[in-house]
Amino acid sequence: MNKHQTPMLDQLESGEWPSFITGIKRLRDHHADPRIRETTNDLLGQLEHSYETIKGYWKGGTVSVFGYGGGIIPRFSEVGELFPRSKEFHTLRVQPPAGNYYTTDCLRQLAESWEKWGSGLVTFHGQTGNIMFIGATTENTQQFFDEINDYGFDLGGAGPCVRTAQSCVGSARCEQSCTNEHDIHRRLVNNFLDEMHRPALPYKFKFKVSGCPNDCMNAIERADFAVIGTWRDEMQVDQQAVAEYVAVKGRNYLVDNVISRCPTHALSLNEDDSLKVDNRNCVRCMHCLNVMPKALSPGSDRGVSILIGGKRTLKIGDRFGTVIVPFMKLEREEDYERLVELAEEVIDFFAENALEHERIGEMIERIGLVNFLDALNIDMDPNMIVHPRENSYVRTDNWEQEAAKWIERKNSAA
């Protein structure tokens, strides 16, 4: 094997941060299997070529495993004649366990399979949340999938379909968790495996679940359907721990970093150094709980909020998801069934009404939130807006009828 010269890539081996180039070279120089050595050699050759010419050389195509239409990112080299051993270099997107938990045994099992059929390069995880097995030929793609599918791993989404979901570390190791993130994640995504494996939606559709409003999964910005854990009663305050905090950090620090950073001025410090909370005006921003995790905890009447429509720029500009369900309990089996049902209704409406390559957030922007809520039979709620309309171009013909709905809802809730 003639090793490609890589003078530019070699410069990424100096410095203290772990080097991916050194890693790829280890496969090229030390792996027992000549197939892996030769593949990674040509991969390094092509990457060096990119660095020299400041250009990418991969193109897409169509590759899938038997029975599925998605889950593989096909990559064929445009300079395959120069680098023939890596000319087919597809990525398999594999769904990780909810919460990204592994044992070393599980990772070794995946490593053994990947060693048999792939390049030996893997990422935990891609930006959507998949395990990315990077670099398999068209033929080996099927072999690798068959093997890992037998012991419990399945492909994720690629293309216009329901995508792999993400959930945070959650109840397994976080005091801020307000719900069972992994259960929600699996119930949602595993209900839509047909929509994931056989792409037929207008465009991608992502679920992400964060257990509290810190939103470590970036759900509001990156998910079409964001589930955020929250609570609606009073936050729990351990006044003894508050006093200990003041004793250690000082009153001034508490005022500057907790009291005055509350976005709705819902906190104040009593004369005796105990904390007073105006819970009706707390917006569950999490700041004070983050600063004083021992003293302050979420309330005990917990559930989730649902926001729809987060996405990045293309095509109409960035959008955050917006609230369509301010609060729902997730305790009984029926609650979870209602959540899955809601997701089905949302996806059905999206499938029927979005334009090609239009995300649900863009569709809502085009048709208006009210039309979307009407179609889904969801009641309007002032928690869905930052403020009412400022633009006076609106027809209010049936105002009485709409006002009556609100009054009726209010009365039946009372």
Partner 1 sequence: MPAKQRRVPIESGCPDGMQYMHPVMKRNFGQWHYHEDPKPGVLKHIAHGGEAIWTVRAGTQRILDLFTLRKLCEIGDRYADGYLRFTIRSNIEFMVADGAKVDPLIEALEGSGFIVGGTRNSVTSISHTQGWLHCDIPATDASGVVKSMMDQLIGEFRAWNMPNRVHITTSCCQINCGGQGDIAINIQHTKPPKINHDQVANVCERPSVVARCPVAAIRPAMVNGKPSLEVDERKCVCCGACYPPCPPMQINDPQHSKLAVWIGGNHSNARGRPTFQKLVAAGIPNNPPRWPEATAVVTRILAAYQQDAQDWERINDWVERIGWPRFFELTELPFTKFHIDNWRGQQKSLNASSHLRF
Q: Give, as ranges, the residues between 284 and 313 that touch partner 1 (CB under 8 A).
A: 284-287, 290-291, 293-294, 297, 312-313
Residue 81 Cβ vs partner 1, minimum distance, rounded to whole Å: 18
User: Site for partner 1 (CB under 8 A): which residue of 37, 47, 93, 199?
Assistant: 47
Residues 362-401 that bind partner 1 (CB under 8 A): none
315: preceding bond cis by omega (within 30 degrees) = yes
**Selected range binding partner 1 among 177-185, 332-340, 366-374, 394-402, rule: CB under 8 A:** 177-185
Task: Select from 268-276, 351-359, 374-382, 396-404 the region that touches partner 1 (CB under 8 A).
Answer: 351-359
- Answer whether 208's CB lies under 8 Å from 166's CB: yes
Contact window for partner 1 (CB under 8 A) among 52-60, 346-354, 375-383, 390-398 = 52-60
Per CB under 8 A, 16 contacts partner 1: yes
Q: Which is nearer to partner 1, 196 or 342 (CB)?
A: 196
Q: Applying CB under 8 A, does 11 fall inside the site for partner 1?
A: yes
Residue 74, C-beta contacts closer than 8 angstroms, at least 6 positions apart: 60, 61, 62, 63, 90, 138
Task: Give me 65's structure tokens.
Answer: 């495993």
Q: Is 259 in the site for partner 1 (CB under 8 A)?
A: no
Distance CA 226, CA 224 (A): 6
**Residue 365 in contact with residue 319, Cβ under 8 Å?**
yes
Question: What is the spatial distance between Cα 361 and Cα 259, in angstroms, rounded to a whole number?
Answer: 35
What's the DSSP call for residue 77?
A: E
Q: How many residues bind partner 1 (CB under 8 A)?
A: 129
Could you write out the three-class secondary structure of 249-265?
A: HCHHHHHHHHHCCCCCC
Instruction: Tally Cβ neighbours within 10 Å of residue 245.
Output: 21
Q: Is 93 in the site for partner 1 (CB under 8 A)?
A: no
Closest CA to 263 of 277, 236, 283: 283
Structure tokens belonging to residue 267: 């906190």
DSSP 282: -
Instruction: Tell whether residue 55 is a contact of partner 1 (CB under 8 A).
Output: yes
Is the Cβ of residue 264 or residue 401 nearer to partner 1 in the bound state?
A: 264
Does the protein bind partner 1 through residue 180 (CB under 8 A)? Answer: yes
Asked if residue 137 binds partner 1 (CB under 8 A), the reply is: no
Tell me the chain's radius of gyration from C-alpha atoms.
26
Beta-strand relationship, 207-210 and 166-167: parallel
Closer Cβ to partner 1, 276 or 312, answer by number = 312
Find the part of the chain contacting partner 1 (CB under 8 A) among 121-129, 269-277, 340-348, 398-406. Answer: 121-129
Q: Is 185 in the site for partner 1 (CB under 8 A)?
A: yes
Q: Which residues contact 364 (CB under 8 A, 6 or more apart)?
A: 308, 309, 322, 372
157-176: contacts with partner 1 (CB under 8 A): 164-166, 168-169, 171-175
- Which region among 129-137, 327-335, 367-375, 398-406 touches partner 1 (by CB under 8 A)? 129-137
- 17 touching partner 1, by CB under 8 A: yes
Does 217 bind partner 1 (CB under 8 A)? Our answer is: yes
Residue closer to partner 1 by CB (options 27, 308) is: 27
Is 89 buried (19+), middle (13-18) or exposed (0-12) by CB count in 10 A?
Answer: buried
Q: In this complex, which beta carbon is closest to partner 1, that of residue 252 or of residue 412? A: 252
